[in-house]
Amino acid sequence: MKKIQAINKSFKLSAYEFKDLSEQAKNKVFDEYITFWLEVTPYEEMNGNFKKAVDRANQLQTPWFTGSYVYDFCKDEIIEEIELNHYLFDKDGNLLPVTYHTDKNKIVKTTFQFFGNKIEVKPIFKN
């Protein structure tokens, strides 16, 4: 688990990496991630396993199972993308609005968007 603490100490926030979430929270992340992919990606721009999953649902005339096919075909790719982007979640699997500011590929500052206010937080540390 990663913990983030605001510099002004007005609040504490526990943030979790995907691997540390419960199965229920992971399923929520998958569901929201897949729904997002399907809503924003035009068919013409789909490729690889993602396109294969959508094609499979279309072939079987089961569009209501498209998300399940995407999960089956793309699960490892989704996890890889989540980890690559260092996404952090609350305990229920909600994506947290954390921004990493970098310089020469090194994180130099981390901010958290809290009710419209950007709050700088201390460096993230493992617990």
Residue 125 domain-assigned?
Answer: no
Query: Residue 30 belongs to what H/E stretch?
Result: helix 23-40
* Three-state secondary structure of 34-79: HHHHHHHCCHHHCCHHHHHHHHHHHHCCCHHHHHHHHHHHHHHHHH
pLDDT per residue as tens, the chain (127 positions): 565 655 555 666 678 889 999 999 999 999 999 999 999 999 899 889 999 999 999 999 999 999 999 999 999 999 999 998 888 888 899 998 888 888 998 878 878 777 777 777 765 555 4
Number of domains making up the chain: 1
Query: What's the pLDDT score for residue 2?
Result: 60
Q: Which domain does 30 fall in, by range?
A: 17-87
Instruction: Provide the sign of the torsion angle of the four alpha carbons 11, 17, 23, 29, taken in this order.
Output: positive
Say what the pLDDT of residue 12 is.
Answer: 66
Assess if residue 111 is contained within a domain.
no
Report yes or no on 106 lying in a domain: no
CB 123 within 8 A of CB 110: yes
> How high is the pLDDT of residue 30?
97
Residue 57 lies in a domain: yes
CA–CA separation, 10 vs 62, rounded Å? 50
Q: Is residue 54 part of a domain?
A: yes
Does any domain span residue 36?
Answer: yes
On whether residue 121 sits in a domain, the answer given is no
